[in-house]
Amino acid sequence: MRYNVSQLLKDHIGATRHYQLQADISDLDPALTPLTDLAGTVDLIRTNDGILVRADMHTSVELNCSRCLTQFALPVRFRIDEEFHPTIDITTGARLPQPDDADAATQIDIHHILDLSEIVRQDLTLALPLVPLCRTACKGLCPDCGKNWNDGACDCEQEELDPRFAVLKQLLDDTNIQNN
């Protein structure tokens, strides 16, 4: 995910390089468990101030269902649309002034290497669901015996109403009374 952009930086505004990407991202982030390589297309476009990266990527990651705790594979697709900025002037070799809020993740290094990995890590993480579910209608685990209800019902006596919902129902009833 590292591109030498020295030639592109010398090119005219709008000049574009098109790449196919296939990268092993197993070491990208200890919090992520990718099951496949990251694959997709990357366009590098010369802009006035730097290089615009437009990428379309996909992979598959292993997650734990937040209801039934089962591990499952989630295909993820995400786009990158990010401008990178050089730290060295390509013609003079002089260091370029950086804005105070310069983001190291989008800086082209002094050897004119544009490294996509940190942006990929951030955008891939953002593309993941906050509450992962193995399926939309995951039934979860029985709170008493722990059986995975996706595999069938258990023999526990189930209350008419889950106590957590009873509290919610009470709140709703109270709200209705106030509104009436």
Cβ 65 to Zn ion, closest distance in Å?
3
Which of 145, 159, 176, 180 is the binder for Zn ion (CB under 5 A)?
A: 145
Please tell me whether residue 138 binds Zn ion under the rule CB under 5 A.
Answer: yes
* 108 close to 51: Cβ distance less than 8 angstroms: yes
How many angstroms separate the CA atoms of 77 and 41, rounded?
12
Closer residue to Zn ion (CB): 12 or 164: 164
How many angstroms separate the CA atoms of 71 and 129, rounded?
14
How many angstroms separate the CA atoms of 139 and 131, rounded?
14
Please tell me whether residue 28 binds Zn ion under the rule CB under 5 A.
Answer: no
Closer residue to Zn ion (CB): 35 or 110: 35
> Which span sits near Zn ion by CB under 5 A: 25-33, 34-42, 93-101, 134-142?
134-142
Please tell me whether residue 63 binds Zn ion under the rule CB under 5 A.
Answer: no
Please tell me whether residue 46 binds Zn ion under the rule CB under 5 A.
Answer: no
Closer residue to Zn ion (CB): 14 or 146: 146
Joined together, the tokens standing for residue 141 give 């685990």
How many angstroms separate the CA atoms of 125 and 31, rounded?
9
Joined together, the tokens standing for residue 119 give 């942006």
Q: Which of 86, 76, 91 is nearest to 32 (CA)?
A: 76
Which of 1, 28, 116, 134 is the binder for Zn ion (CB under 5 A)?
A: 134
Cβ 149 to Zn ion, closest distance in Å?
8
Closer residue to Zn ion (CB): 13 or 145: 145
* 78 close to 125: Cβ distance less than 8 angstroms: no
- The 10 Å Cβ neighbour count of residue 161 is 11
The amino acid that residue 44 corresponds to is: L
> Which span sits near Zn ion by CB under 5 A: 7-15, 46-54, 75-83, 127-135?
127-135
Residues that bind Zn ion (CB under 5 A): 65, 67-68, 134, 138, 142, 144-145, 147, 154, 156
